[in-house]
Homo-oligomer: A and B are copies of this chain.
C-alpha cells in the first residue's frame, strides 16, 4: 500500500501538469490560482487509496482523482462568493482578487474540467463512475443550500443538521472512495461499502470539528477557538444545547445569541460553561463515535484480507484522534 505522502505527491504533480488554454486569461488564471493554494489534497488522495486498496494501478487513477480536487475547488470558489469570504487558505479569494463575475464563470468552467477529467476511466466503468460523480455533485450543492438556509432558520433540528453536513462534506469523501474502488477493480458491493465508510467517517470528522472549535487546544487548533460560538454557528453543540437546556439555560443561551457589542472572550467562556453544564460535549462525542463505528463496520465488511484494509483503518484512526 502506498503511503499518504506518496499519493499526495502524485496529486501535486498532477495538479502542476494540468493544462488549460491561455485565453481567455480571466477564465483560466483563477483556476490555476485556486489550485495553487495547496491544501491537504485529502479527497483525491482518498480516491487513490481506494484504488490502491483493491490492487488497482494508482497512476491510472490520478486524472479522476484530479477531477475530485478540481470539483472541490470549484465548490470552494462559488462558496466563497456566497459566504462573502475575503480569504481562502490565507490568500485572497478569487472574487476579491478578480471579481464576482469571474469567480462565477471560472467556477463553471472548473466543473466542466472536472467532468472531463472524470471521464478518463475505462469504458466498462464510465457510466458507474459518472453516476456517482453527478450524485455527489448534486449532494454537495444541496448541502451548501441547506447550510445557507440554516443561517436564517431558528428551528433547525439535529437530524437536519446531520443531513446537511453529510451532504456538504461527507458525500464527497464517500464518492471519492467509491470511484477509486471501482477504478481499482472493486465490485459494486465492496465499492458501496467503501462509500458508506467514507460518508460516515466524514460526518464523524465534521462532528469532531464542531467539538474542537470549542474544546480544542488553542496552541494546536488552526482556527480561533470559540469561533463558532462567537458567530452563533448552528453546530451540533449549539443545537443539542438548545434541545437539552432547561428554561433558565435556554434563556441565557438565547441572550448570548441575540447579544451585540459583546466581549468575545466573555461570550465564549459563558457559552462554553453552559455547554459544560448541559454536557453537550459528551453528546457530541457519542454521536461522533457512533458514526465512526458505522464507518469502521462498513470497512470491516469489505471482502479483502484484513492486512490490506489495515492502512485505511489506521489512516481513519489518525483522522479521528486529533487531540487539538
Binding site for B on A (CB under 8 A): 21, 23-24, 26-27, 78, 81-82, 100-102, 104-105, 107-109, 111-113, 115-116, 119, 123, 126-127, 130-131, 134, 137-138, 141-142, 144-146, 148-149
Which of B23, B108, B142 is close to A27, meaning CB atoms less than 8 Å apart? Answer: B142
Query: Do B82 and A104 have beta carbons less than 8 Å apart?
Result: yes
Tell me how far the C-beta of A80 lies from the nearest C-beta in chain B, rounded to whole angstroms: 11
Determine the chain B residues whose CB is within 8 A of the CB of A137 once the complex forms.
112
The answer to whether A134 touches B109, judged by C-beta atoms less than 8 angstroms apart, is no
Q: Could you tell me the distance in whole angstroms from the C-beta of A267 to the nearest C-beta in chain B?
A: 28
Q: Which of B102, B119, B131, B145 contacts A130 (CB 8 A)?
A: B119
A131 cross-chain contacts in B, Cβ below 8 A: 119
Q: Is B119 touching A149 in the complex (CB atoms < 8 A)? A: no
CB-CB under 8 A from A21, the residues of chain B are 142
Given B24, B100, B102, which contacts A142 in the complex, CB threshold below 8 Å? B24
Instruction: List chain B residues, Cβ under 8 A from A145.
Output: 24, 26-27, 102, 105
Q: Assess whether A127 is in contact with B134, with CB atoms less than 8 Å apart.
A: no
Q: Does A82 lie within 8 Å of B101, measured CB to CB?
A: yes
Q: What is the distance, in angstroms, from A136's C-beta to the closest C-beta of chain B?
A: 9
* Copies of this chain present: 2
* Pair B82/A105 contact, Cβ less than 8 Å: yes
Which B residues touch A115, using CB under 8 A? 115, 130, 134
Taking a contact as CB atoms closer than 8 A, the residue among B78, B112, B138, B149 that contacts A141 in the complex is B112
Q: For A26, what are the chain B residues with a Cβ–Cβ distance below 8 Å? A: 145, 148-149
| Of A108, A111, A131, A148, most B-chain CB atoms within 10 Å | A108
Q: Contact between B148 and A101 (Cβ–Cβ < 8 Å)?
A: yes
In the complex, are the beta carbons of B138 and A127 less than 8 A apart? no
Q: What residues on B are CB-neighbors of A101 within 8 Å?
A: 81-82, 148
Could you list 26 A-B pairs, sorted by A, with CB under 8 Å? Answer: A21-B142, A24-B142, A24-B149, A78-B108, A82-B105, A100-B100, A101-B148, A102-B145, A105-B141, A105-B148, A108-B141, A109-B138, A111-B111, A112-B134, A112-B137, A112-B141, A113-B138, A115-B130, A115-B134, A116-B134, A119-B130, A119-B134, A123-B123, A123-B127, A126-B126, A126-B127
User: A21 to chain B: closest CB distance in Å?
Assistant: 8
**Could you tell me the distance between the alpha carbons of A115 and B141 in the complex, rounded to whole angstroms?**
14
Chain B residues, CB < 8 A from A126: 126-127
A144 partner residues in chain B, CB cutoff 8 A: 105
CA distance A123 to B146 in the complex (A): 35
Complex CA distance for A138 and B131, rounded to whole angstroms:
21
Contacts of A81 in B (CB 8 A): 101, 104
Asked if B127 and A104 make an inter-chain contact with CB atoms under 8 angstroms apart, the answer reads no
A30 to chain B, nearest CB (A): 11
* A107 neighbours in B (Cβ, 8 Å): 108
A105 with B78: CB separation less than 8 A: yes
Please give, as numbers and ranges, the residues of chain B lying within 8 Å of A112 by CB-CB distance. 134, 137-138, 141
